[in-house]
């Protein structure tokens, strides 16, 4: 597996662009582990994360089984499935096909100033996957922008205005190539890679494992979290607990509805 510390040196003081190797979730965890060692931290009470952070938390449990006493992983999966990969594909293609992306040889300062339309469109798709039908309806319904006429061709519903604002604002502070590399890391994530099975991978976890799924999460279904728990039980591992939170917010519930997970996390810690 590729590790951060063996990556090639920057050549001629130029950005890596596409020359930078693909980074995996395990690379991220190994890099953090190296940092902890340098800081003299060889054991922690808990590792906690949601979404891609949840992937990293699980990887800590599998690949560094003696590092954390507790692992709390939320709104994630043991391997990214087709639905999530498809949303990321929309974002990747939108970036790559934007002329201002310039095949990766854009000027970062120009992007910070002007944004990148392709990346904004991709981010809009991402936002749709972060919410749910119910939360969209509750948040926006069919409300129309007050200053726009209903029959104006480019008049907007509130949900359209929301997606535009968040999409275009995002591109002024997040680098397009970084976004491509991060979505690639998410897409190829598979906790069982390098093992004969998921059972073998999960069998390495010695920490207390707490799994949290969210009812209306359409990006990483709660059933994907439940599968991790049932697999652990099937191989005789009892150091796992799974809870599904009743929520219609969607994937972002772990960031927004803190009150619904607060007591569970406190008890786990």
Catalytic residue among 27, 127, 132, 217: 217
Q: What is the C-alpha separation between 216 and 180, in angstroms, rounded?
A: 27
Crossing angle, helix 25-38 and helix 176-188, to 10 degrees? Answer: 100
Catalytic status, residue 51: yes
Catalytic residue among 98, 132, 135, 251: 251
* CA distances to 11, 38, 187, 231 from 7, in Å: 12, 19, 21, 35
Using DSSP's 3-state secondary structure scheme, residue 217 falls into coil
Contact 76, 58 (CB under 8 A): yes
Catalytic residue among 51, 73, 135, 247: 51
Catalytic status, residue 42: no
Using DSSP's 3-state secondary structure scheme, residue 18 falls into helix
Residue 75 falls in which region: left (phi positive, over 0), alpha (psi -120 to 50) or beta: left
Tokens of 149: 């006429």
Q: What is the C-alpha separation between 107 and 116, in angstroms, rounded?
A: 11
Q: What is the C-alpha separation between 257 and 250, in angstroms, rounded?
A: 10
Contact 44, 67 (CB under 8 A): yes
Contacts of 207 (CB under 8 A, 6+ apart): 47, 61, 65, 68, 69, 70, 71, 239
Using DSSP's 3-state secondary structure scheme, residue 183 falls into helix
Using DSSP's 3-state secondary structure scheme, residue 246 falls into coil
Catalytic status, residue 178: no
**Hey, which residues are catalytic here?**
51, 217, 251
């Amino acid at each position: 597996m590729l590790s951060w510390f063996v990556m090639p040196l920057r050549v001629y003081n130029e950005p890596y662009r596409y020359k930078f190797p693909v980074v995996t979730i395990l690379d991220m965890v190994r890099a953090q582990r190296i940092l902890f060692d340098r800081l003299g931290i060889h054991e922690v009470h808990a590792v906690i994360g949601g979404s891609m952070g949840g992937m990293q938390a699980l990887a800590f449990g599998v690949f560094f089984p003696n590092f954390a006493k507790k692992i709390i992983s939320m709104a994630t999966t043991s391997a990214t499935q087709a639905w999530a990969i498809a949303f990321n594909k929309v974002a990747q293609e939108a970036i790559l096909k934007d002329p201002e992306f310039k095949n990766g040889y854009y000027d970062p300062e120009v992007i910070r100033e002007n944004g990148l339309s392709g990346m904004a469109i991709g981010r809009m798709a991402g936002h749709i996957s972060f919410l749910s039908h119910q939360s969209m309806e509750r948040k926006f319904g069919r409300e129309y922008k007050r200053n726009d006429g209903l029959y104006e061709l480019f008049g907007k519903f509130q949900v359209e205005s929301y997606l535009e604002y968040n999409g275009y604002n995002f591109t002024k502070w997040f680098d397009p190539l970084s976004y491509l590399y991060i979505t690639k890391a998410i897409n190829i994530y598979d906790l069982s890679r390098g093992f004969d099975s998921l059972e073998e991978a999960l069998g390495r976890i010695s920490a207390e494992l707490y799994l949290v799924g969210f009812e209306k999460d359409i990006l990483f279904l709660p059933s994907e979290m439940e599968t991790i728990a049932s697999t652990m039980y099937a191989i005789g591992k009892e150091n796992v607990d799974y809870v599904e939170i009743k929520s219609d917010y969607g994937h972002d519930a772990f960031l927004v509805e803190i009150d619904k997970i607060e007591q569970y996390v406190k008890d786990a810690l």
